[in-house]
Amino acid sequence: MSRLAKPNGDITMRGMGRLRQAKRKIQRIAFNSLSLQTFVDEEEQNSLEKHMGFPGQWQEHRRFQLAFVKEHGVIPTSRFLEFGSGPLTLGLPLIDYLDKNKYVGVDIRPNVTDIAHNQVAKHGLAWKNPRLIVSDDFAADELADKTFDFVFSFSMLFHLKDQLVERLFAVIAERLTPTGCYWGNINNVDMPESTWLKFPFVGRSPEFYGAIAEQHGMTMKSLGSLEDNGFRLKDKLERHNVLLEFRLR
């Protein structure tokens, strides 16, 4: 009789432990030999891209956004607020770059914020204390009287109904330090309105945003298209998006 079995045929505790170990070993061998890690990585990448909305463009959107904010003055001590932070396309490398307690990301979707939390954990960045907030009112209550050196949104303004843009700019005017600024990209194209997930997809002119900013005591400056600012995907329409900068008057 096996040393792992009792006289009555039941398996001993030790035997159970050995069986579990053997099972794990077989699973590890199968996982490695079938390149399942590559499959898991690709699945994760697909899911992240699905949640950021631009299939096949993950690396460039991440690279571009990080390069842009650094080139425009974000340093490790900057207090940074991102609206529409999604799966942390920018957020993850930025949290890594910024000092502790400096990054706040706000998104309206709880499911994508769960993914964002998972990304922070997976990359060992919990110690940076990023704050991720789910809110349908741009975290107006959650952030109380907090102010930021930089406010940013990428690929979010064109998913907001006009009344929400009004609300966003009212909130941003309260969030900026006197020398702070807000950057956002827009879809400066007159086109039939469509949707992405539950969100509208709209084209509005820089003047539309400038007029709303004006009502909330901010001035607007165009920084040119994404392409002008180094976006590398020459065959993608987003390269024509315009980057706008807003400052308190």
CB of 184 to ligand SAM, least distance (A): 10
Angle at 126 between CA 46 and CA 67, to 5 degrees: 60
CB of 232 to ligand SAM, least distance (A): 15
Tokens of residue 108, six digits: 């309206």
Q: Which of 66, 98, 106, 213 binds ligand SAM (CB under 6 A)?
A: 106
CB of 140 to ligand SAM, least distance (A): 11
Q: Which of 89, 119, 188, 229 binds ligand SAM (CB under 6 A)?
A: 89
Q: Does residue 61 touch ligand SAM according to CB under 6 A?
A: yes
Tokens of residue 225, six digits: 């298209």
Residues in region 189-218 near ligand SAM by CB under 6 A: 199
CB of 199 to ligand SAM, least distance (A): 5
CB of 19 to ligand SAM, least distance (A): 45
CA-wise closest residue to 120 among 149, 140, 100, 146: 100
Window contacting ligand SAM (CB under 6 A); options: 150-158, 174-182, 207-215, 223-231: 150-158
Q: Does residue 107 touch ligand SAM according to CB under 6 A?
A: yes
Give the total of residues touching ligand SAM (CB under 6 A): 20
Residues that bind ligand SAM (CB under 6 A): 52-53, 61, 83-84, 86, 89, 106-109, 112, 138, 154-156, 159-160, 164, 199
